[in-house]
A and B are shown apart, each in its own frame.
Chain A
């Protein structure tokens, strides 16, 4: 491995350039803000995970015997709300994207550093609203806030939670706006669009969704709050209002929101696979454009959440065929990643194990997604555990696997320390195995007809539920181990060289951890992305 750059501890970097709470809380450095986000997200992830623990314990037996039905409803609602709005949506972009995008494009910072810091505060303000609501009894509408239940029937803290989601949504818009402007205007000389790492492409596509979709859910949530607070009942059936209109407006964002979670994850996977196969990605342009295609087409398919909602049959057919189209760019990515492995030089490092695991799980998640988009199948499995299993395969098996893979890949860059390889491989294995044991049985449960959001269920579903709960235990362990060794590594970990993996990319050419302005002078890019062969060999081919 190349260890070209000095590992002297005295060198000034973004971590030790300044000390004290104030230097962190008022920082404008995108790398420090990424760390701040990492801390916030980990906190919300742990709370959301704790809710999942209670859910799985409750479901180990058919009778609803651990908690009251009402408590259970609050548990799964808060699990969904926290995991989606406060972990998965900010997720990869806010931590890895914030840290890496300016470096990958050879810039000193994002275009609007103050806006970036503001987004972190806004995000936490949104989180505080939700935590406040949770401590005061929570909310029980499901993360989807379907009307009229959310507007006229529940007496839980809908307004606080909805405002929390609304505010966190603004943080997401700020991040997206910042990324779009940065990627357009701050690229280093020579760094053309087709020399950008695919991670940047993926984040650009994600930012498009954040900017174009989030406002719609913001106004929708605001209208729910207005109906509860002021009596302005836009969705009130008594006034001719249509609860299905709420669903249209809600899913216009909330379906693309799934791509906010998975697109950056796909960007991470492109980086991991090329780095650990030491090879230019197969079909660069196809992978790059497929990100944009997913972002655009992803906006045209939301009605597939409403096939049995009394939406018109023709609209259902239209949304179904559009949903099939959006599967194609995802398939293209998968095939290109697999083809990248062919004749690569594949190293079984921890991040690569996550990346390969992602491939397997994402294929299952994606294919079951197309099954759900098939009208005839959806009638039966809609709102059952089949759906629950499908989206966990995408969000946990996809987004979180990539998030963890990315963290393991860039951790040396972010902290300047290595983590224990042995334990990291153990935990990667536990996550993969535990995940499958948790969620695969849920596909079967779903086809059997077990509806989601049930806190008690008929006895014949028990065996599969017990398997699922057992898997969740293993999965939970798999998540706890990295938290421990990451924290451990910050003090005791071996010092990381500038490029511990022998990977290609601007971020590996600067020291670990980087200095505040990343580059001593603006780099000039002359080579293609993932150019492992060097120029001389390319002229032969």
Chain B
């Protein structure tokens, strides 16, 4: 559908239903529904729902827009409505940080699309490639720079993630799943459009993606707040996608991982929203041992972290496998090693997450009265977890849909035989067999082990644990391992990552800016003598300049 705007015939706008758009629209619908499902647990103002509706509408606009102007409009409306949604809970500083980055992102995008427009006088996606090619080299680089800044800020790519972690941590528990699952995906959508329609900024994406995965993973390991940990994990997961988009045939893996990441982040954030709802605690140090109070939640979190870590047999492995083989195909071997390395490092933080919340011994006695989370929290988790299991068992299930998108973007299709298998040029993987084998072996071993079972009692005293021959008491901190990963800082290379932060850079920037402003505003002192003198000086300079 095409139409023009502003009564000006030279601005042609277009909305179009494409397979790619449908893919993301599906994710939007899924996220919205699951998030709304847990909404009745919270008392929210009507304005919250109003803004949320606006946000979802803007997401649909972004997705179904077929030209960069409508896309930009959606992008800005998304940023602003998110701003007001975040304003319900965020502290002033975090909110300000968010909006500054969002505005920087929006304005860079604005400049980029205007540069695109300047050559072919069209905003349409079809003409984007032409417009790009018609630019001079310098403008091309400028365009790429602005476009990527816009995208990277939304994605929270390392160096541009300063706003993201605070925003995730302090946002409403209802809204965090949506932030992580959906809003960062819009950055991804922009990146996919950029890569597919305009140019593949290979080296930038490869380097930024790899740095993002590795640094964010180690940052996540350091965190002691659940939501901060998951925020860094989100950054790292999107880093994989950025990395894989740097290679020619990476689109399939990227879309696959986008799907999996949306599902798993919804699952995880809803899960911890439930935990926070029943315990009112957000720090790993305050939680612990909830496995026996919230057994169902535990299982869902377990599924979530297995997917997040990319372990077989669940869906996470399928998407990781696609990413690895795509990188292998392009012969980006060291890049692949780096990605696998950060994927292995992710085990620490996923373990830290599940340990900190559900395992170990709680230090606080009041966690003993906690009950399982309300069914409104559990129902969406059932849905998401079963989707993940199904995708793990039938990893080929989504391939036809991804192929439809790839076909539309004129990219090489993924090979597809049955829904049980994933086939790449290097190897194949049968999810059904793996799942079956694992399930079978697990059940068999368990049954044999059960046969040998003997009656064992749970210790009645919560202090009845091995503790260096000492008797712990109420004052003892029983939840020992919640800060695991700190000792990694003793390793030189990792210390380097932990010590340095983009915070210093941005603080420096802000300080310089304020200093500069302080200097500049001195001239607005209202001193008329100064003003008249400058005016005359100005006149003389202009005279000399024109008479030269």
Chains A and B form a bound pair: no
Binding site for A on B (CB under 8 A): none
